[in-house]
Amino acid sequence: MKLKYEFEIMDLDDQIIAVPIGDGATELHGVIKMNGSASKVFQLLKEEVKESEIITRLIVEYDDSPEAQIREYVHSIILLFKEKGIIVES
């Protein structure tokens, strides 16, 4: 899976904002607001990646967090991005 659109990412203090750009940007209405952890998932989705790979990468990065918590969080963020229609399955 990967992002369906191109986005410009802006870091505004405690929130990260993704603004759709390029082809298809007019299909989306508004911006996507994320915290730091969600933006890591978002960034990984810029390339073709599986959910399990995202989880593995975040487990390494957040080695002080419980693995089950990371799995649950990544799964919930991916579901949200799917509901918003910004991810394509491959």
> What single-letter amino acid sits at 75?
H
Cα distances from 12 to residues 34, 36, 49, 89, in angstroms, run: 10, 11, 27, 30
pLDDT at 25 over 80: no
The CA-CA-CA angle for residues 10, 13, 14, to 5°, reads 100
**Residue 24, pLDDT score:** 75
Q: How confident is the model at residue 22 (pLDDT cuts 50, 70, 90)?
A: confident
pLDDT score of 7 = 92
Q: Report the predicted TM-score, pTM, of the whole model to 2 decimal places.
A: 0.88
Handedness of CA 47, 51, 56, 59 (dihedral sign): positive
